Structure 1
Amino acid sequence: MSVAEARLSELDRFLDGQVLTPTLADDLFAVVGLLASQVALRTALSDPTAPQAARQELATAVLTGTVSPAALAVVTAAAGQRWSSAAGLVAGLERQGARTLIGLAQAAGQLDAVEDELFKLERLVAGDPGLRGVLEDRTVSAEGREQLITDLALGKVLSTSLALARRAARSIDQGFGAAIAADLALAAAARHRSIAYVTAAKPLSADQQHRLRAALASQAGREVNLQLTVDPAVLGGVRVQLGDEVIDGTIAARLEAAKRELN
């Protein structure tokens, strides 16, 4: 585990000791927004040359009375860590906001639906060049990108899915698709699962999904969530991405390989 991953894991454990509420998520995202707009504040809270106590006292002085005690505790814990950059601190807090929403969805028995809705939203954006272009255009304000997703999804998805999608649209360092993928990874991790992204020429039957899931679970050593995309261009077979490993058994891939050999 890298130093950065160790910091995130430590902050994860701290959040896991809190009572998860919608207010906690809202407050953490509000702090993320504040830090995104206040360069001096986020620099001071993540300054590795400043004493740990000084960084934590600053967080307490700035945020007391403006966020819930639970949110203040998480931010103070984050400020007490040594981050390699201010962006790392902001990303760590945004992660905890997302984990709070995911934890609430899991407790409500809605996590399967949230994962499905987020994946479908990501696929919808990926398949629409105009929509994707606006969400990736950093000359468009974060508020404008967020409103675009709100207009697209409001009333069509669960409130948790909408909240996560709106945060993904506002993402500074990630594109919409990468931010959604990160949320899906957090959702899978909450249930100690892996995610397999599967592309096939036509929808897989329930039996095919069951057999594929079982085979991938055996390979991964843990349960696997399938995220399915239908793409007629693959012609036949399936392409599977499980973590860093890609298994491409599509006809299109075999034809391309044969073409390279002939050339």
Structure 2
Amino acid sequence: MLNRSVARRYAEAFFSIARDNNKIDEFQQELEKVVATIKEVDNLEDYLSHLLVPAKEKKDVINKVFAGHISPLTMNFIMMVIDKRRETYLEVITEEYKEMADESRNITKAELVAAKEVPEEEVKTLAEKLSASSGKTVKLQVKVDPALIGGVKIRMGDRIIDGSVAKKLEMLKTQLKQAKIG
């Protein structure tokens, strides 16, 4: 597993450059394009992550694939990542960068877990209510987990709102165990 703190440092450095150049969105799109292309091109991901391939050869390949398609600043950043032997971190660096970009746009992500599919209209209404209460624009990611039995669970940052039937049953079970029978 890759160390997210390493990826975060690289993302912070590149995000700082993007903010200074007022190109946060542009650089995010370029990073996403680079990661997507690396995944799409046969064996490119394996080639870049191979320890015996010299950095110069990797940089030559990246230059051939992306020259003219991404900005010189993004190209230099990727070359530096390769020089530092962190090319396997590119995807995680991109994820960290996207989180920073969303934060700068006052956007936060939340996860909605429900026992069954939630209608789009209800998801939209819930996102609006969460946005109003948090003061940020909330993007809801919906997941279905039948183990909840009913209700929903919302995770936003370090806050969890658990209104599921499974949680209520668990709480009832705890209360019944603690009840004194006299």
Report the TM-score, using the length of structure 2 for normalisation.
0.59
Q: 1:17 to 1:97 in 2, by over 3 A?
A: closer
- Distance of 2:90 and 2:8 partners within structure 1: 15
Equivalences for residues 1-263 of structure 1 within 5 A: 4-5=3-4, 7-20=6-19, 21-83=24-86, 88-105=88-105, 110=106, 114-115=107-108, 118-119=109-110, 122-123=111-112, 126-127=113-114, 129-130=116-117, 195-198=157-160, 228-231=161-164, 234-235=167-168, 251-252=171-172, 254-255=174-175, 258=177
Q: 1:35 to 1:70 in 2, by over 3 A?
A: same
Deviation at 1:66?
Answer: 0.3
Deviation at 1:6?
Answer: 5.4
Alpha-carbon contact 1:15-1:96 (below 8 Å) kept = no
| Identity %, equivalent residues | 11
Which amino acid counterpart does residue 196 of structure 1 have in structure 2?
A: D
- Distance of 1:35 and 1:91 partners within structure 2: 10
Deviation at 1:13?
Answer: 4.0
- Distance of 1:253 and 1:17 partners within structure 2: 50
Report the TM-score, using the length of structure 1 for normalisation.
0.44
Deviation at 1:59?
Answer: 1.8
Which amino acid counterpart does residue 254 of structure 1 have in structure 2?
A: T
CA displacement, residues 202-259 of structure 1 (integer Å, 9 cap, x when unaligned): xxxxxxxxxxxxxxxxxxxxxxxxxx343355449xxxxxxxxxxxxx7336247x29
Q: Secondary structure at the match of 1:82?
A: coil
Runs of 5+ in structure 2 lacking a partner?
A: 132-136, 144-154
Which residue is equivalent to 1:245? none
Runs of 5+ in structure 1 lacking a partner?
A: 132-148, 170-180, 185-194, 199-227, 237-249
Deviation at 1:34?
Answer: 0.8
Q: Secondary structure at the match of 1:18?
A: helix
Deviation at 1:90?
Answer: 4.5
> Which structure carries more strand by proportion?
2
- Distance of 2:74 and 2:115 partners within structure 1: 37
Coordinate RMSD, CA, aligned: 4.0
> Which protein has greater RCO, CA pairs closer than 8 Å, 6+ apart?
2
Which residue is equivalent to 1:141? none
Q: 1:235 to 1:33 in 2, by over 3 A?
A: same
- Select the structure of larger CA radius of gyration: 2
Q: 1:77 to 1:99 in 2, by over 3 A?
A: farther
